[in-house]
Homo-oligomer: A and B are copies of this chain.
Amino acid sequence: MTTPGAQPPADLVITDCTVLVPDQDDRTPVPTPAPTLAVLPDHAIVIRDGLIDTLLPSAEATGIDSRERIDARGQVALPGFINCHTHAPMVALRGIAEDLPVEEWFNERIWPIESQLTERDVELGARLACAEMIRAGVTCFADHYFAMDRVARVVDETGLRAQLGWAYFSSQGPEGRERSLEFALAHQGSAGGRITTALAPHAPYTVLDEDLAQTARLAREHGLPVHLHAAENRAQTDNSLKEHGRTPIEILERTGLLGTDLLIAHATGLIERDFAVLARATGRIAVATAPRGYLKFGWDTTPIAELARIGIPVGLATDGAASNNTLDVWDAMALTALTQKQSTRDPRRLTAREALDHATRQSAQALGLADRIGSLAPGHRADLVLVDLDGPHTQPVHDLAATLVHSARSSDVTTTVVDGRVLMRDRQLLTVDVRETVAELAERLPALTDRSHGQRIQTYEA
């Protein structure tokens, strides 16, 4: 009920939905071994100033004045999914390098093509990627690429949340590292606070130890997190041992990066000795897992159970679409559950509830944003999605977590909200013109994908 003198109208009220909320143990900072799900039926979500203001039974929300209302009857409200490691602009190269080992994928296709990448290509690719993610219920992504000022512009205009890092190799000289720092400092907190930034060395096999050490110092000095690839596959670990006598994780320790807030992409090549190294890290360490690509390249997958044992959260990711073909975190959630069961040969592992926990709370922890996003709790940013479970493929619902993880798909997302702003409503994108973006990109692709110049931006030798 509004009464004279009550607070001003809400910005958005979503009524009559089933709300998935964290259980009582949600405040524990490390992954919970067996997260439970609390479900609030017939609830309303009241949003003010970009924040979740209140969750209350729908019947009690009828009198609340609001500038916008969504009737979500029969739908489930979830925290928006978080893509913890991607290269959004690479959607421009979706499907251009198929059925290849990683060396050939990089050296013969991707790195030659990327040597011709223009800022406009990056911008168009990022816009198409944002459209794909909004449609799939992704509300935040951690991007690691080039020309990141253009990606930041697209994040600003499309309304998503992102953690952006400008990638660099040692082969670029000090300029690469300096540009990454400049970008991180200039864009931290931009787009109304929706953009956070990270330093983004490419990987221990493309960035020299001295540059990694310098990155660690800069991260501490400026209070910036670091986002890189490491131990992407077992061959990299074996090669690192052969060449340097150290695993990629030991190189991260030696160069001081394990003392920073560090997001490690992939980590499928971890070996036994790495867990002790990670366990004694003094920084906030997290891993992003992108299971589709590991299957596609024929690699092992990220050892999630072992990482959980030492308190390292594992967020979900899609990697870039040039390798994974999709930016669908829902798909990554299902594949994470399935591939963990398969790799451990234990069907009891990675339950549907745990998969949801990785997709939301642990992914927010991985980006250092667990105080802001990843759960539908009053005081958190209003980043959420509505999911329609009325389709024949999601009925009946015996177990909501199983339905969400193993039967529902990203195409069941009807509505995507970031910071209280509706970016997709009833499956209609409100902030991106896909047709126009695709048309301009199509005109530019022949110049981008021509490889007759014989150059590449880097060589993969791991």
Report A's interface with B, CB cutoff 8 A.
91-96, 98-102, 128-129, 131-132, 135-136, 292, 294-299, 321, 325-328, 337-339, 341-342, 344-349, 351-352, 390-393, 395-399, 401-403, 406-407, 409, 411, 432, 434-435, 437-438, 441-442, 445, 449
Contact at B402–A298, with CB atoms within 8 Å? no
Tell me which of B101, B347, B399, B411 contacts A348 (CB under 8 A).
Answer: B101
Closest chain B residue to A328, Cβ basis: B393
- Provide the residues of chain B in CB contact with A129, threshold 8 Å: 392
Known pairs A94-B396, A94-B398, A101-B348. 14 more at Cβ < 8 A?
Answer: A94-B403, A99-B347, A99-B348, A99-B349, A102-B347, A129-B392, A296-B337, A297-B341, A298-B344, A298-B345, A328-B393, A392-B434, A395-B434, A395-B441
- Provide the residues of chain B in CB contact with A435, threshold 8 Å: 390
CB within 8 Å for A98 and B135 given contacts A338-B296, A396-B438: no
Tell me which of B95, B101, B132 contacts A403 (CB under 8 A).
Answer: B95
Contact at B327–A393, with CB atoms within 8 Å? yes
Contact at A442–B98, with CB atoms within 8 Å? no
CB within 8 Å for A341 and B295 given contacts A326-B406, A391-B135: yes
Report the minimum CB–CB distance from A281 to chain B (whole Å). 30
Report the minimum CB–CB distance from A327 to chain B (whole Å). 7
Contact at B438–A407, with CB atoms within 8 Å? no
Contact at A294–B402, with CB atoms within 8 Å? no
Main secondary structure of the interface of A (DSSP, over half): helix
Report the minimum CB–CB distance from A350 to chain B (whole Å). 8
In the bound assembly, the distance between CA atoms of A299 and B327 in angstroms comes to 27
CB within 8 Å for A392 and B128 given contacts A295-B341, A296-B347, A341-B295: yes
Tell me which of B338, B391, B449 contacts A292 (CB under 8 A).
Answer: B338
In the bound assembly, the distance between CA atoms of A337 and B99 in angstroms comes to 10
- Provide the residues of chain B in CB contact with A339, threshold 8 Å: 295
Contact at A347–B449, with CB atoms within 8 Å? no
CB within 8 Å for A441 and B298 given contacts A98-B352, A100-B348, A325-B402: no
CB within 8 Å for A399 and B298 given contacts A131-B392, A325-B407, A392-B132: no
CB within 8 Å for A100 and B136 given contacts A128-B395, A338-B296: no
In the bound assembly, the distance between CA atoms of A351 and B347 in angstroms comes to 28
In the bound assembly, the distance between CA atoms of A299 and B338 in angstroms comes to 11
Task: Return 30 A-B CB contacts under 8 Å, by A number.
Answer: A91-B392, A93-B398, A94-B396, A94-B398, A95-B397, A95-B398, A95-B402, A95-B406, A98-B402, A99-B347, A99-B348, A99-B351, A99-B352, A100-B347, A131-B392, A132-B392, A132-B393, A135-B391, A295-B338, A295-B341, A296-B337, A296-B338, A298-B341, A298-B345, A298-B349, A326-B406, A326-B407, A328-B393, A390-B438, A392-B437
- Provide the residues of chain B in CB contact with A297, threshold 8 Å: 341, 347
- Provide the residues of chain B in CB contact with A98, threshold 8 Å: 351-352, 399, 401-402, 406
- Provide the residues of chain B in CB contact with A348, threshold 8 Å: 99-101
In the bound assembly, the distance between CA atoms of A401 and B393 in angstroms comes to 25
- Provide the residues of chain B in CB contact with A411, threshold 8 Å: 409, 411
Tell me which of B94, B101, B398 contacts A407 (CB under 8 A).
Answer: B94
In the bound assembly, the distance between CA atoms of A99 and B95 in angstroms comes to 33
In the bound assembly, the distance between CA atoms of A401 and B96 in angstroms comes to 11
- Provide the residues of chain B in CB contact with A128, threshold 8 Å: 392, 395
Report the minimum CB–CB distance from A166 to chain B (whole Å). 24
Report the minimum CB–CB distance from A101 to chain B (whole Å). 5
CB within 8 Å for A393 and B298 given contacts A348-B101, A402-B325, A406-B95: no
In the bound assembly, the distance between CA atoms of A325 and B325 in angstroms comes to 23
